[in-house]
Amino acid sequence: MAREFVRTVDVPQRPPPARVANFWAVWRDRVAPSPLSAVATVVIALVVASTVWTVVDWAVIRAVWSAPDRTLCSEPGAGACWPFADARKLQWVYGLYPIDQRWRPNIVFTVGALSLAGLLIPKVPGKLWNGIFFFSVFPVLAVALLLGGFAGLSFVETTSWGGFLVTLIASFTSIVVSLPLGVALAIGRQSELPIVKLLCTIFIETVRGVPLVLVLFMAVNMLPLFLTPGTVPNKFAIVLVGVALFFSAYMAEVVRGGLQAMPKGQYEAANALGLHYWKLMTFIILPQALKIVIPSIVNTFIGVVQNTTLVLVVGIFDLLNMVNAGFNDATWASPQTGNTGYFSLAVIYWVICFAISRYSLYIERRLNVGHER
Amino acid sequence: MTTAAGSAVKMVGVNKWFSQFHVLRDINLDVGKGERIVICGPSGSGKSTLIRCINRLEDHQQGEIIVDGIPLTANLKNIDDVRREVGMVFQQFNLFPHLTVLENCTLAPIWVRKTPKAEAEENAIRFLTRVKIPEQALKYPGQLSGGQQQRVAIARALCMNPKIMLFDEPTSALDPEMIKEVLDVMVDLAEGGMTMLCVTHEMAFARQVADRVIFMDQGQIVEENEPNEFFKNPKSPRTKLFLEQILH
């Protein structure tokens, strides 16, 4: 019988066939579709299991959980020396900040965290005022409170700041400076004004051609040579400026990638409507270009957080350097002290960076709502 | 030609090059107020470039272009003034995908014309109603069909209350079924007395609304006539060939 190509009767709409989601079907199709894949799966599973076991064995099973000093941790076969981390944790957070003044960093942490949470959680109202507070009032207040030296607050030199406090300050400053400055540099590099374009290009290419460690050494050692003799610049402040400028150059190139992805038609449509350069950039180009490069921006943010550890080369006690410093303590010196400290650091950094990464995914999904068909 | 009421667009001896390529050659054109012009011609003949010179999306190197009495020169204020009076619709719609339909329509009135937001929105709804899609105002462009997007683009241009509308192949990127809904809007606009310059190959549209049809080839205007004559008795051989190709 000849096959009918033309329908004479309307085919009714039907639901799709049920998806087979049982365990063995997935196993067969995705995990072990052939003997070779099955072997590969088993090998990989064994490697993963043995790695996890090694970590758990060291960090939990063989770990020393309470001890007054190094004795137990020094025994052969001992795992992580958690009492060391416990004894040191406050110094990791505050550095050498005077113990009776630690309420000051605490206020900074709390206010910062509350304000930031308000900005990050979409449902919380008052984004505008909160944003103005967080990005302009809060940094000034924080520095004033941490430094002191007025209204009966004792003066605490920046050399005493340390640990997580310093890591947070450095990360916050670099992120908050590098994004807007990076956007400005990227726009400048695409400018039709030749001098603006040249200056932005020179800055970006110079900074990107130099390692961060070198920037830090030069900032701390060479900058004073150019200043009036006698003026001693604050080392921590110089380092913050150095790190922030350094990452601005990288951010600029990230943003430029987004700008280049914008179709010409968007510029033309805005021009045809009479929108000027700045309005065109603010309302049309940047919102779209920045959205495209969110993954790269977040990549840079994560790089910023992790690379603040490099400030240790110029003798600033950030979290990593503070943990390092604890190893010299005779009370805790043991074969496992260093491992415990580094493992804790790895967990802390991982949690921070993973949180940033997840939040950016969440924001990307939110921004995509409505744009897709 | 109409000069009594003053010209909407006047081009005298306009020349333009894309590096070495002479894309517009000695263009003279006078468009009267309320006149509807259809520009056609083979691809690469300079018709898009011609209308893009009228709102200075492209600059011309020689000659004079006067739009609504304002000479188009490098003077930025003049360019602004012209762009405020001239609306443009593109082949690729060029809506702003991150803004809703309503925001697309109100952005320029609010920031260029300084219209209060409420008034701009009221206006936008009026024009969206005119292009028959007021119910889509809160959607994003990506959620609309091509025909709907192009109608939004027309409404967006109209929201600036332009005196002249430029259409650059507005139906060329559309599915056949959607072309009509866009042309209907354009016919309605023509009947309302808008000065229009349309680059299009919709010859039925040209017959129905155009006061004059202009045929371009290799950067020159080679023929100009009222539509009936243009289609019935094309004078230049190039026009004849072109019409044979498209009007089987």
User: How many residue pairs from chains A and B have C-beta atoms closer than 8 A?
Assistant: 68
What letter represents residue A222's amino acid?
A: M
- Residue A194: count of CB within 10 angstroms of its CB: 8
Q: Burial of A160 by CB count in 10 Å (0-12 exposed, 13-18 middle, 19+ buried)?
A: middle
Q: Is the pLDDT of residue A326 over 80?
A: yes
- Kind and range of the H or E run holding B11: strand B7-18
Helices marked H in A190-282 — which ranges?
194-208, 212-221, 223-226, 235-260, 264-272, 277-279
Residue numbers in B near A292 (CB within 8 A): none
Q: What is the structure's pLDDT at B96?
A: 95
Chain A residues with CB inside 8 Å of B95's CB? 269
Residue B80 reports pLDDT greater than 60: yes
Q: Which residues pair with B27 in a beta bridge?
A: B14
> What is the average per-residue pLDDT within B3-7?
62
pLDDT, residue B2, reads 42
CA distance A55 to A86: 19
**Measured distance CA(A110)–CA(A131) in Å, rounded:** 16
Interface probe for A, chosen from B54, B80, B90, B96 (most Cβ of A below 10 Å), is B96
Residue A146 pLDDT greater than 70, yes or no:
yes
- Confidence class for position B189, pLDDT limits 50, 70, 90: very high
Average pLDDT score, chain B: 92
pLDDT of residue A124: 86
Residue A126 neighbours by CB distance under 10 Å: 11
Q: Residue A373 has what pLDDT?
A: 42
Mutation target to probe the A interface, by most A beta carbons within 10 A, among B49, B84, B112 is B112
Minimal-distance CA residue of chain A relative to B156: A273
**Which residues from A are below 8 Å from B90, CB to CB?**
265, 268-269
| Among the ranges given (A19-33, A227-241, B117-131), the one the predictor scored with the smallest mean pLDDT | A19-33
Burial (CB count <10 Å: 0-12, 13-18, 19+), residue A102: middle
Tell me which of A83-87, B156-160, B219-223 is least confident.
A83-87
Residues of B with CB under 8 A from a CB of A: 55, 57, 80, 83-84, 86-88, 90, 92, 94-98, 100, 107-108, 111-112, 139-140, 142-143, 153, 156-157, 160
Taking an 8 Å cut-off on Cβ atoms, the answer to whether A273 and B90 are in contact is no
First to last CA, chain B: 32
Order of strands across the sheet with B62-67? B21-32, B7-18, B62-67, B70-71
In this prediction, residue B3 carries a pLDDT of 44
What are the tens digits of pLDDT across the range B113-129? 999 999 999 999 999 99
| pLDDT beyond 90 at A338 | no
φ and ψ at residue A347, rounded to 5 degrees: -65, -45
Band (A172; pLDDT cuts 50, 70, 90): very high
State the average pLDDT over residues A311-326: 88
Contact between chains at A268 and B57 (C-beta distance less than 8 A): yes
Q: Which residue has the higher pLDDT, A231 or B226?
A: B226
Interface with chain A: mutation pick from B48, B51, B57, B86, highest number of A CBs within 10 Å: B57
Token pair for residue A311?
Answer: 């400030």
Average pLDDT over residues A44-65: 93
Identify which has the larger pLDDT, A152 or A372.
Answer: A152
pLDDT value at residue B248:
65
User: Looking at residue A185, what is its pLDDT?
Assistant: 96
Cβ of B140 within 8 Å of Cβ of A370? The answer is yes
**Which residue in chain A is spatially nearest to B83 when comparing CA positions?**
A274
pLDDT at position A51? 96
Which pTM value belongs to this model? 0.84
Between chains, do A273 and B108 touch, taking CB under 8 Å as contact?
yes
Beta carbons of B142 and A284 less than 8 Å apart: no
The amino acid at residue A74 is: S
Distance from CA of A215 to the nearest CA of B (A): 39
| pLDDT at B159 > cutoff 90 | yes
pLDDT confidence bin for A2, thresholds 50/70/90: low
For range B193-202, the mean pLDDT: 93
Which residues in chain A are closer than 8 Å to B158, comparing Cβ atoms? none
Contact indicator for A218, A313 with CB cutoff of 8 Å: no
What is the arithmetic mean of pLDDT over A74-80? 85
Q: Which pLDDT does position A266 carry in this prediction?
A: 95
| ipTM of predicted assembly, 2 dp | 0.92
Residue A198: HSE in the Cβ half-sphere, 13 Å Cα cutoff? 3
DSSP assigned state of B139: S
CB contact under 8 A, A283 and B142: no
Q: Which of A177, A251, A276 is nearest to B76 (CA)?
A: A276
Q: Among A141-150, A271-280, B8-17, B93-102, where is mean pLDDT lowest?
A: A141-150
Q: What is the pLDDT of residue B4?
A: 44
Mean pLDDT of B173-182: 91
SS3 B210: coil
Q: pLDDT confidence of B1, banded at 50, 70, 90? A: very low
3-state DSSP: chain B helix, strand, coil percent, rounded to 5?
40, 25, 35
> In what helix (H) or strand (E) does residue B179 lie, and over which residues does it extend?
helix B176-191
Q: What pLDDT does B6 receive?
A: 76
CA dihedral A264, A182, A299, A279 (to 10 degrees): -40
Sort out which chain A residues have CB atoms less than 8 A from B127's CB and list them.
none
**Above 90 in pLDDT, residue A162?**
no
CB contact under 8 A, A373 and B98: no
Helices B146-158 + B176-191 axis angle, to 10: 20
Contact flag B94-A269 (C-beta cutoff 8 Å) = yes
Q: Is the pLDDT of residue A1 over 60?
A: no
Of all residues in chain A, the percent with pLDDT exceeding 90 is 49
pLDDT band at residue A17, thresholds of 50, 70 and 90? confident
Chain A residue numbers with beta carbons less than 8 Å from the beta carbon of B155 are: none
pLDDT tens, residue by residue, B41-69? 998 899 999 999 999 999 999 999 999 99
* pLDDT digits 0-9 by tens, A247-259: 999 999 999 999 9
- Given an 8 Å threshold on Cβ–Cβ distance, is A283 in contact with B140? no
